Each structure stands twice: as C-alpha cells, then as structure tokens.
Structure 1
Amino acid sequence: MPNFSAKRQEYDDALPGWQLVKRCVAGPREVRKYNEYLPMPDPLNQTPENIARYEQLKKRAMFLNVTGRTRTGLMGAVFRKTAEVELPSGVEYLLENVSGDGASLEQLCKEATGECLDTGRGGFLVDYPKVQLPEGQTALTVAQAANARAYVHFYPAESIVNWREDVIDGVKRLTLVVLLEKINEATEDGFEFTAKDQYRALMLIDGKYVQRVYSEDTPGGVETIPTDKTGNTFDHILFHFFGSHNNDASIDKAPLEDLAEVNILHYGNSATVEESGFISSQPTLFITTDIQPDEFARLNPNGMHIGSRRGHNLGKSGNAIMLQANETQLARELMKDKEEQMLMIGARIVQQGNGAETAEAVRIRYSSDNSVLGTIAGNVSEAMRLALFDAQRFMMGAVDETGTVFWLNQEFFDQVMDAQAILAQVQLWQQGIIAKKDLRTNLRQAGVLESDRTDDDIDADREADAPVLGSEDDPNNPQGGVGDE
C-alpha cells in the first residue's frame, strides 16, 4: 500500500516557523494558547499553585500584535489598486467565481499574498469537476457542459506536504505533489461534523498527468486522468507554486518570520515587566516589637490590617515601616530594544511618521520591504497567470496568451505627477518615444486616470465628446489630440 501520508523533511523543518507567524498574526488570544512562547518560570514545579500562578502570568503579559498589523499594512499596499486583469470570454466567469465557492479572482489572490507573507509558499491547483453522467448517457449535454467549469483552488503551505521534481529531457519538471485536505463528514442528524484527512496526489506518470485521492476509507486511492477540452491528456501537473523568492517547489524564507520571532521575545519581556510590577508595586509591612508572639496573636487576632480605620499595639518599643520596591528598568529597556528591532525589520505601521520627512526619504527607508513585497506580488501574479492558462485548456482548448493579462499592483506609494511631469509624458508620446497606451498606463499609476478605466472605456467616452480644439503639432499644447491616433 502506498505511503500517501508521507511528508518531506523540509516540510517538517519549516512547519514550526509557519505556525509561529500565523499564531502571531491571529493575535494574543491565539498566542496564549501555547505555553512554548512564554516558558514557565519554574517548569519543574508542577504544583497547582505554581500552575495557577503561571496562568495569571500569561494573562498579565501583553502581546503587541506588530506582526499582524504589519501584514495588514503590506496587504493594503499591494491591493490599494485593483489588479490589471484581462481574460478571454471563455474564462471570464473566473473574475467573479474563481474557485467555485463565490470567491472573486482578486479575493483569492489576497488570500495567496497573505499566505506568501506568512510562510513564503503556496500554490494554485486547476481542476475540472468530474461530472457523473446518468446511466446510458455517454456525452455531456449543452446544459451539463455549461454548468461544468474549471476552477482555480488555493492551497496554503501547510497543505503541501510532499513534492518531487525530476529532470526529464534535460529540464527539471514537477512530477509529484501531495496535498492534504480536510473533509467534514456530517452526522445523520446533520448538526455535527467529523473531520477526516484526505490526500490528493498529483503525479506525472509516463508523461501523463494523473490524480489519485487517498484516505483511510480508500487506502488504494481513486484515480482520475484529467483531459482538456479536446480530450487530450495533460503533459504537466496542473499545480503552480508561488514563493517569496521564486516559484519553484523549494521552500522559501517566510518574510514575516523574523518579525514574529522578535514579537514573541517582546511578549516574554512584557511578562517579566508585568510580573515584576505586580509583585514589587504592592507595599509590604514590616514591624518590630517586644511583645511575645502569643501575646501579639491575642492582641491582633485577624493579623495586621493596613489602613487608617484601626490602630495596632506594638508594645513600648515597637516600630512599623512600609517598604515598596523600586521598579526595575532592565526588562523595560529590553522591551524598547525589541520594539526598535521590529521597526527595523519592517513594522512601519506602528511607527509614527515624521511630518518633516520627504516622500523620497520614506521610499528609501522602506525600499528593502518593498523589494520583497514586489517580488511576492510578481510571483503570485505569475503563478495565477499560469493557472489561468490551464483553465483555458479545460474550457477553450487553446491558450490565449496575448488576451490574458493578470498583474497585481506593485505601485505601493502614490506617484505624484504635477502638470510639468504630465506635459513631459505627453511630449514623449507626441515625439513617438512612447505609445499612447504607455502614456495612459503612466497616468493611471500616478492617479491622474482611474485605475479601473481601460483604454476602451476612455476611447468610448471620447467618441461622445465634442472635438478638442488645438494643434497636434504644437508640443506646448497637450490638449491637442492626447487621445488621437
């Protein structure tokens, strides 16, 4: 029987880092579920009193969710503008329902981009639902074919448990991908569910793409051989990796892992500060007296109460003082160091901007973060574009490469374009150095034109406008035929 649940060693090595980042992103309630991130001060003491004290320590510790806030800020930078999308008519339905569950193409890419920030890894599977034909029917009807559509499914890093690449005819090709899927089976009354694991193996066997689904109920696997619209089998696995560095099958560094590590250390320093403050901030009473212990107990049957409502008999030579420890600065200084380190790593969202700082200084300060973010946006875009090609093979037979455009925004800052810069762009177009399409693209990126207005939309609106007076030959008159051929 095949060992379908086998996991690669690289997967096991990377899994704790992925979990750390995702738990930090989820917030303090999730982090407090795991004792490994805040060690018990005396782990050998497992008495109920020590365990209860540890639980109170965790409740007092503050987890400042810098990791989650940074992730939100980086996601907002990518999706501050809509993606450039153009699809052939045969797969236009993917814009609004890319995975069959109602998620739009942009929403699926948001999920993939967030996963790439968390783990530096993920993938898209293109699949076509298997249509069960009624008995006696050998071909799909028109109605059945209209409802059977190819979809793109997103798989996070934790679900990609095994893979293999082999060199075939001098080219490294993906020959195996095993995906772990969670299946919920409803009970008879329909109100409860039982979670079961299912493994989907994508294989390239003798140059032919094959799928096999394994589970405890079907250890031998259920095999299907997907075919394109023309009935031909595929010569490649319809799964496309994306990563924080490149889009091969290897595991890339998780961009947010370093930040999450410092975030957890900051959490530990916070626990020390809060515990120290809780203990040392409470005043402690010390007394000296010549009264014998039994006599002292008789005079103070309820112990010594601190307050002004009652007095205490300390004898003829008694004395009482209140001691309160000064706050310790070491743990607080360590917290400040961690906060500065998190800002250096990329947590700019928690830093208050300097009003005197120029836009160019901001760009330089964040250039390293943006280079990583730009790579992620480009890698997700490229993987999705390849997935859209496979969807076209299912739905159209042929791939329309020129008519397929998908590119996530990589303009993470507003590009301010003043009148002089606009005039310079128009002059470049009039002199034939750039095309009209390039001019409009630059104007969109600068926010002069709305990002979702296509060239066809602009041309259609211009046809309804009255002619614009002016000479095309006059380079100082940008109105003279900006949209003319």
Structure 2
Amino acid sequence: MANYSDIRAEYAEALPGWQLVKRCVAGAREVRKHDIYLPQPDPENKSPENQARYKQYKKRAMFLNVTGRTRTGLMGAVFRKTAELTLPTGVDYLKENASGDGASLEQLSKEAVGECLDTGRGGFLVDFPTVKTESGVSSMADLATKRALIHFYDALAIIDWDEQVIDGVKKLVYVNLQESVTEFNPALLTRKTFKQNRVLLLIEGKYVQRVYKEGAADPTETTPTDQAGSAFDHIPFSFFGAQNNDASVDKSPLEDLADVNILHYGNSATVEESGFISSQPTLFITTDIDSDSFIKLNPNGMHIGSTRGYNLGKSGTATLVQAQETQLSRALMKDKEEQMLMIGARIVQQGSGAETAEAVRIRYSSDNSVLGTIAGNVSEAIKRAILDAERFMIGEPDEKGTVFWLNQAFFDETMTAQDIMAQVQLWQQGFIAKSDVRTNLRQGGVLEADRTDDKIDEELANQPPVGGSDEQ
C-alpha cells in the first residue's frame, strides 16, 4: 500500500508557522478559537471557577489585526496596476477562465501572492480533462469543450515532494497534493466530503498522475499527453516561493509580524484584566462592635453607593480602596506596536506630512524588495504554467508570444519628460529595442499595463497621417 498520506518533515516543521499567520489574517474570531495563543494565567487550576474566569479573560482581550491589514496593504501595492498579459490564440481563454471555475489569471495571481505572503510557497498544476477511448486514456479530445486548466494549490495542500538530479539537471519527480472533495446528492440534498491525494510522478522520464481516493481500494492512474499525443517529460507543476521557485520551503514573510501580533494580543489581555480588576473598589471597615450587634444595627447589610447611613460604633471607620493600574503591560503593548511597524506594518500607515517621497522609499526598501521578489516569482510560475497549457492545447509553446508580469512599481513614479527623451535616444542610437522603450514606459506609468505592443502598432497603423505645418 502506497504511503500517500505521509507528510514531508519540512512540511511538518513549517506547519505551525503557516497556521499562525493564516489565523492572524483571518482575524480575532479565528485566533480566539485556539487557547495556545493566550495561555491560562493559572493553567494548573482546573476548577470550574478558574475556567469561567479564563473564558472572560479571553473575551476581554483585544486582537489588533495588524497582520491582516498589512497583508491587505501589500496586496494592494502589487495589484494597484493590472498585470502585463499577452497570450497566443490557442490559450487566450485563460485570461478570463484559467481554472475552469471562472477565475481569471489575475485572480489566480492574487491567490498566489496572498499565499506567498502567508506561507512563503504554493504551486500551480496544469491539467487536462481526460477522455476514455477504446485505446485507453488520452488527453486529446474535442478541444471545443476540453481545455487545459491551471489549478492553484496552497502550501497546506502540498504535503510531500521530491527532486532528483537526472542527467545533471535537478528535476521534480514527485508531488503529493491533498485535496478535499465534496459530493452533492441532489435526491437527498446532502453533501459528503472526503479527502483524496493527487500524486504526480515522473517515471522513466514520463509524467504519470495517480489519484488515491479515500476509501477506494486502488488508485486511478493516467498518463497525460501533449497536443501531439506524446507523454510529458516533466511534471507540469510550478512551485513559487518567497525567495525562489524551487521545491524548498521558504520562510513566511509575515510570520515574524504574526509572532509579535500574538504577543501584543497577550499584553492586551493583561491590560484589560488589570483594568477590570483595579476598576472595582473594595470596601474596608473597622468597628468596635461585635458581629451580632453589627447585624442588628445594620439589618440590610452594607451597599456601596447607597443613600443610607450605617452604624459602625464609637470608633468605626470605612475606607474604599482601589488598586492603581500598572503601566508595565501598556508599555509592553506600545513596544510591540513599534516592532510591528518595523517588521512591515508601516506600509499601511500614513507617513508624516513633512516626510519626502524619497525618504519613504528608503524606509520601505526592505519590504519592497521582499514584495518585489514575490511578485516576480509568482509571475514566472504563472508563465511556466501557461506554457504547459500551451503544450496541451497548441503543441510547441510560444515563449516569445507569452507574457505575464505582475506590477512591481509599488509607488507612483511617473517618468519625467527628460526620462522619456533619454529612452527614445537610446532606442534611436541602437542601444535598446522599441519594445524595451515601451516596457519602460509601462513601468514608469506613461503607458497602461494592458497596452500591449500589438495594440499600439494596430492603432498607429489605423491612424491618419499627421498633417505638415506647410499646408496652405
């Protein structure tokens, strides 16, 4: 029996960090579900009173979701401009429906960038609906209804993998993807959810896919083929990461921030508990009369804030004592807020009015370099996936005619007139091509990202000639 449910050691080691970030991003309701992020002040006391106190202690704690807000800000910086996208005719459907459920390539890229911020990794699988024929299983069918699709997998789904050096080249030879499948019964209006593992293998240089369904005796095995009917010589799965696009586990860019965010949550619980306790005054009395006499003189007991008077005897006194709130926990909270700003939360906070744009760029440089790497890695992974889809649909992939690149201009940096003239001069002198000029103009905000070279050339060809100044 294949060990298809086993997870890789690196996966198990990284899993707690991934869960921490994802729970922080989800918000206070999700964080409060897990006691590990807010330990009981007196964990050895198992009494019902202590359990009830802990429940109130946790309820009063405030979780300031800096991690989720930072993630939103970083995502907004990448997708403030549309991605550069050019596809050959045979796979142009991917623009609007890349995964078969209506998700466009840009929507897939948003999922990927978000996952890369959360966990530092993920991947895309290119697959083709298999069709049973008399000769077996083939990927070649009616292309009008059967299309190659790109499926996104988060880090939690990629439970195992392996790379080996073949003919001097490191190749991906094994990927185990754990999927959750829901079957709906229209007659009973019920749903049944089960797990299955989609195992991708490179066996003797040929790509093979096996699906191990929970409860099934044997897996379903297929050998996907390209447009010409030949087996793939590689697994059409593209990893992306926060540092590089190999199969190794990269550290989550948001994990450090989430760690401090949870500590800030603990300090908040202490502050709120202290405030709750110290805000309740306690009454202390002294009297020279015995308890029976005290009850006779004060039959209704003693009430703080009552309009009645009380008899405490000849030398009796009463004092309200209220504890002073400690400032230590508040100071710790403030320290952690500053630490979160240093780690990355500053990107969603407004700078001071006197701060120059250049100072902001310098201050944000470390965050932008990480974010730029993520945007570039996701772009490359999606392009590789598109090229594999082309192998299914049109045969030989068109690398030059395939463009997918996410925005990396995270600030408003419109090129000046001098910058534009310099680009034109470099082109006229033969140092760069016309396409390089247009690419730089897109990155500089002069041209829209979706204004491809073909669109520009087509409009120029249809324009009437510009009249000269010597017309009478």
TM-score, normalisation: structure 1: 0.92
Who is 2:275 aligned against?
277
Give the secondary-structure state (helix, strand or coil) at the position aligned to 1:146. coil
Summarize the alignment of residues 5-16 of structure 1 with structure 2, pairs less than 5 Å apart: 5-16=5-16
Who is 1:286 aligned against?
284
Distance of aligned partners of 1:3 and 1:289 in 2 relative to their CA distance in 1, 3 Å threshold = same
5+ residue gaps, structure 1, are 472-485
Who is 1:389 aligned against?
387
What is the CA-CA distance between 1:304 and the residue it aligns to? 1.7
User: Is contact 2:138-2:224 (8 Å) kept?
Assistant: no
Who is 2:25 aligned against?
25
Residue 333 (str. 1) matches residue 336 (str. 2): no
What is the CA-CA distance between 1:348 and the residue it aligns to? 1.2
Who is 2:355 aligned against?
357
User: Is contact 2:130-2:139 (8 Å) kept?
Assistant: no
Give the secondary-structure state (helix, strand or coil) at the position aligned to 2:91. helix
Give the secondary-structure state (helix, strand or coil) at the position aligned to 2:196. strand
Distance 1:306 1:79 in 2: 59
Distance 1:138 1:14 in 2: 38
User: Is contact 1:161-1:178 (8 Å) kept?
Assistant: yes
Higher mean C-alpha displacement, 195-204 vs 413-422: 413-422
What is the CA-CA distance between 1:350 and the residue it aligns to? 4.8
Summarize the alignment of residues 410-421 of structure 1 with structure 2, pairs less than 5 Å apart: 410-421=408-419
Distance 2:189 2:42 in 1: 44
Deviations 1:363-412 (A, max 9, x none): 11111111111111111111111111110110011111111111111111
Who is 1:477 aligned against?
none
Q: 2:403 aligns with which of 392, 402, 405?
A: 405
Give the secondary-structure state (helix, strand or coil) at the position aligned to 1:19. helix
Equivalent AA in structure 1 for residue 255 of structure 2: E
What is the CA-CA distance between 1:184 and the residue it aligns to? 1.3
Distance 1:55 1:338 in 2: 25
Who is 2:175 aligned against?
177
Distance of aligned partners of 1:322 and 1:148 in 2 relative to their CA distance in 1, 3 Å threshold = same
Residue 162 (str. 1) matches residue 160 (str. 2): yes
Higher mean C-alpha displacement, 211-220 vs 34-43: 211-220
Distance 2:278 2:53 in 1: 16
Distance of aligned partners of 1:307 and 1:97 in 2 relative to their CA distance in 1, 3 Å threshold = same
Residue 100 (str. 1) matches residue 100 (str. 2): yes
Distance 1:188 1:301 in 2: 71
Higher mean C-alpha displacement, 366-375 vs 344-353: 344-353
How many residue pairs align between the two structures?
Answer: 469
Who is 1:478 aligned against?
none
Distance 1:306 1:250 in 2: 65
User: Is contact 2:131-2:138 (8 Å) kept?
Assistant: no
What is the CA-CA distance between 1:85 and the residue it aligns to? 0.7
What is the CA-CA distance between 1:283 and the residue it aligns to? 1.5
Summarize the alignment of residues 194-205 of structure 1 with structure 2, pairs less than 5 Å apart: 194-205=192-203
Who is 1:475 aligned against?
none
Distance of aligned partners of 1:320 and 1:443 in 2 relative to their CA distance in 1, 3 Å threshold = same
Distance 1:123 1:410 in 2: 21
Equivalent AA in structure 1 for residue 286 of structure 2: T
Who is 1:191 aligned against?
189
Distance 1:211 1:138 in 2: 12
Higher mean C-alpha displacement, 426-435 vs 35-44: 426-435
Give the secondary-structure state (helix, strand or coil) at the position aligned to 2:144. helix
Distance 2:434 2:457 in 1: 12
Deviations 1:217-242 (A, max 9, x none): 22431111111111100111111111
Who is 1:467 aligned against?
466
Summarize the alignment of residues 189-338 of structure 1 with structure 2, pairs less than 5 Å apart: 189-338=187-336
Deviations 1:321-353 (A, max 9, x none): 111122211000000000000000011145331
Give the secondary-structure state (helix, strand or coil) at the position aligned to 1:341. helix
5+ residue gaps, structure 2, are none
Distance 2:226 2:420 in 1: 48
Distance 1:272 1:470 in 2: 78
Distance 1:160 1:140 in 2: 24
Who is 1:43 aligned against?
43
Distance of aligned partners of 1:367 and 1:331 in 2 relative to their CA distance in 1, 3 Å threshold = same
Distance of aligned partners of 1:431 and 1:60 in 2 relative to their CA distance in 1, 3 Å threshold = same
User: Is contact 2:138-2:225 (8 Å) kept?
Assistant: no
User: Is contact 2:128-2:139 (8 Å) kept?
Assistant: no
User: Is contact 1:2-1:220 (8 Å) kept?
Assistant: no
User: Is contact 1:69-1:349 (8 Å) kept?
Assistant: no
Distance of aligned partners of 1:139 and 1:316 in 2 relative to their CA distance in 1, 3 Å threshold = closer
User: Is contact 2:347-2:364 (8 Å) kept?
Assistant: no
User: Is contact 1:210-1:224 (8 Å) kept?
Assistant: yes
What is the CA-CA distance between 1:146 and the residue it aligns to? 0.9
Question: Percent sequence identity over matched residues?
Answer: 70
What is the CA-CA distance between 1:296 and the residue it aligns to? 2.0
Who is 2:67 aligned against?
67
Distance of aligned partners of 1:185 and 1:92 in 2 relative to their CA distance in 1, 3 Å threshold = same
What is the CA-CA distance between 1:207 and the residue it aligns to? 0.9
